[in-house]
C-alpha cells in the first residue's frame, strides 16, 4: 500500500510539474498578452449583448475596459521587445543546441593555453560578466555563453534545470567551434552549473574557478530565507507584468523570467530532493581536477541574515553554518585550494573587485600552461 501511495504521489508530482512547465512555456511567448486581452474584451462584449440585468451589462463593460487596457499594454510590450532587439545586434554567434539557438561570444587568442569560459550567477546572461570577459580576452581566449532564456539566446525548452544547462553549455561550446581544454569560471548559481559541467565532461576541463558557488546544503538545511523562497514568485509576477507592459524602461522578454522561475524551482528543499543526484557535486566527484575556490573570509553583505536569527547564540550558529558551507566544494577535488577575496567584499565580489577575479583566473591559466605536457 505504501509503495502504491509513493507511486501515485510521484506520478502526481510529475504531472503537476508538466503542467507548470507547460504554462511557463506558454507564458514565455511575448505575443501571448494580445490573445488574452482580446479574449477578455470578447467576453465583456458578449455579456453586454446579453438580454440580462443591469449588473451583467455593467460587468461586461468593466471587462471590455480591462481588456482594452491589457491589449494596449500587450502591444506596448511587443513594440518594446522588437525595438530592443533591433537596437541590440547579436555580438557573438548563434549556434544550434537541440533545435534552439544559443548565443556564444568568444574573443581573444588561446596562445596555447586553456580557454576561459565564464558563467555569472542567478540566471543572468553572459553579459553580466562582460567586464571580466574583456579583461581576460586581452590575455587569452575568453568565452561568454547565454543560457537559454537569457541574453540573445532563445528561451529554449522547459523545464530549465542545472543538469540540462550543464550539458547545453558544453554542446554550445562544441557547436561554436571552441576547443578544449577549458577553465570554467562560475559565480554563485553559475558556480554550481560549471561544477556540474566539469563533473560530466572532465575530459574537456583543465581547471575550475568557483566564485562563492552555491552550496546546496544552504538550500536543504539553512534557516528559512524569505528572499530565496520568494524568488520564483517574483519572477512569475515580473513575467506577467512585462507581458502586459506594466513596467518601466526597456522591455524585457517574458521568457527570461519564465526560465529563471523554472530553474529556481530547484532552490527549495523539495525541489532539491527531486534533482539532487543529478545536480549536487559530491565529495571526490571531480577527482584531481585543479579547483580554485574563491570566497570571502566573513559574511560581509549577509548582515540581514544574521539579524533575522534573533538572539546572539542563534546568530553565531547561523554564521558558522554559512561559513562552513562555503568551503564544501574543496572536498570535490583532491587538487583544490582556497583563495580569499579582498577585505570588505561580500558575495558580489566579482563586481566589487573585477581585477582581483581576473588575476586569480589568469594565475590558474598560467599554471596550467606551465605544467601541461
Written as tens digits, the pLDDT of the chain (373 aa) is 333 333 333 443 454 578 888 999 999 999 999 999 999 999 999 999 987 788 999 999 999 999 999 999 999 999 998 888 888 899 999 999 999 999 999 999 977 789 999 999 999 999 999 999 999 999 999 999 999 999 999 999 999 999 999 999 999 999 999 999 999 999 999 999 999 999 999 999 999 999 999 998 888 888 776 666 678 888 999 999 999 998 776 667 899 999 999 998 888 888 888 898 999 999 999 999 999 999 999 988 887 777 777 788 888 898 899 999 999 999 999 999 999 999 999 999 999 999 999 999 999 999 998 865 4
Structure confidence at residue 84 (pLDDT):
85
**How far is residue 314's CA from residue 327's CA, in Å, rounded to a whole number?**
21
C-alpha grid cell for residue 146?
A: 547565454
* DSSP labels, 16-50: HHHHHHHHHHHHT-TTTHHHHHHHHHHHHHHHHHS
For 7, phi then psi, to 5°, come to -65, -45
Cα 130–Cα 265–Cα 249 angle in degrees, nearest 5:
45
Alpha carbon 161 to chain centroid distance? 9
**Is the preceding omega at residue 331 within 30 degrees of 0, hence cis?**
no
C-beta neighbour count of 247 within 10 angstroms: 16
**How far is residue 91's CA from residue 266's CA, in Å, rounded to a whole number?**
31
Give all strands of the β-sheet with 205-211 in edge-to-edge order: 93-97, 100-107, 142-145, 115-119, 182-187, 205-211, 291-295, 336-340
Within 13 Å of residue 120, how many CA atoms lie on the same side as its CB? 23
Domains and CATH numbers, the chain: 94-226+262-371 (3.40.50.1820)
**How far is residue 241's CA from residue 254's CA, in Å, rounded to a whole number?**
9
C-beta neighbour count of 320 within 10 angstroms: 10
Structure confidence at residue 269 (pLDDT):
86
**How far is residue 208's CA from residue 193's CA, in Å, rounded to a whole number?**
11
H/E segment holding residue 274: helix 269-279
**How far is residue 296's CA from residue 353's CA, in Å, rounded to a whole number?**
12
Which of helix, strand or coil describes residue 185? strand
C-beta neighbour count of 228 within 10 angstroms: 14
**How far is residue 193's CA from residue 190's CA, in Å, rounded to a whole number?**
5
Q: What is the DSSP letter of 246?
A: -
Amino acid at each position: 500500500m505504501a509503495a502504491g501511495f509513493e507511486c501515485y504521489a510521484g506520478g502526481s508530482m510529475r504531472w503537476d510539474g508538466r503542467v507548470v512547465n507547460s504554462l511557463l512555456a506558454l507564458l514565455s511567448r511575448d505575443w501571448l498578452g494580445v490573445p488574452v486581452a482580446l479574449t477578455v474584451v470578447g467576453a465583456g462584449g458578449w455579456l453586454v449583448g446579453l438580454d440580462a440585468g443591469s449588473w451583467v451589462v455593467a460587468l461586461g463593460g468593466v471587462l471590455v475596459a480591462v481588456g482594452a487596457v491589457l491589449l494596449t499594454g500587450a502591444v506596448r510590450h511587443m513594440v518594446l521587445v522588437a525595438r530592443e532587439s533591433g537596437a541590440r545586434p547579436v555580438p557573438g554567434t548563434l549556434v544550434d543546441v537541440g533545435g534552439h539557438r544559443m548565443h556564444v561570444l568568444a574573443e581573444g587568442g588561446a596562445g596555447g593555453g586553456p580557454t576561459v569560459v565564464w558563467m555569472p550567477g542567478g540566471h543572468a546572461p553572459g553579459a553580466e560578466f562582460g567586464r571580466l570577459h574583456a579583461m581576460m580576452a586581452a590575455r587569452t581566449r575568453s568565452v561568454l555563453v547565454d543560457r537559454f532564456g537569457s541574453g540573445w539566446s532563445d528561451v529554449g525548452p522547459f523545464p530549465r534545470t542545472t543538469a540540462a544547462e550543464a550539458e547545453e553549455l558544453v554542446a554550445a561550446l562544441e557547436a561554436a567551434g571552441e576547443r578544449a581544454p577549458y577553465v570554467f569560471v562560475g559565480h554563485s548559481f553559475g558556480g554550481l552549473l560549471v561544477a556540474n559541467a566539469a563533473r560530466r565532461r572532465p575530459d574537456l576541463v583543465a581547471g575550475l574557478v568557483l566564485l562563492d558557488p552555491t552550496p546546496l546544503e544552504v538550500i536543504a538545511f539553512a534557516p528559512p530565507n524569505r528572499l530565496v523562497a520568494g524568488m520564483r514568485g517574483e519572477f512569475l509576477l515580473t513575467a506577467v507584468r512585462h507581458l502586459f507592459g506594466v513596467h518601466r524602461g526597456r522591455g524585457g522578454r517574458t521568457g527570461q523570467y519564465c526560465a529563471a522561475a523554472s530553474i529556481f524551482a530547484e532552490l527549495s528543499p523539495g525541489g532539491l530532493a527531486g534533482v539532487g543526484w543529478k545536480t549536487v557535486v559530491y565529495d571526490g566527484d571531480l577527482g584531481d581536477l585543479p579547483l580554485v575556490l574563491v570566497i570571502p573570509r566573513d559574511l560581509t553583505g549577509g548582515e540581514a541574515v544574521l539579524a533575522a536569527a534573533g538572539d546572539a547564540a542563534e546568530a553565531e550558529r547561523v554564521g558558522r553554518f554559512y561559513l562552513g558551507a562555503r568551503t564544501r566544494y574543496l572536498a570535490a577535488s583532491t587538487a583544490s585550494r582556497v583563495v580569499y577575496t579582498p577585505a570588505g567584499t561580500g558575495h558580489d565580489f566579482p563586481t566589487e573587485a573585477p581585477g582581483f577575479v581576473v588575476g586569480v583566473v589568469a594565475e590558474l591559466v598560467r599554471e596550467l600552461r606551465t605544467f601541461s605536457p
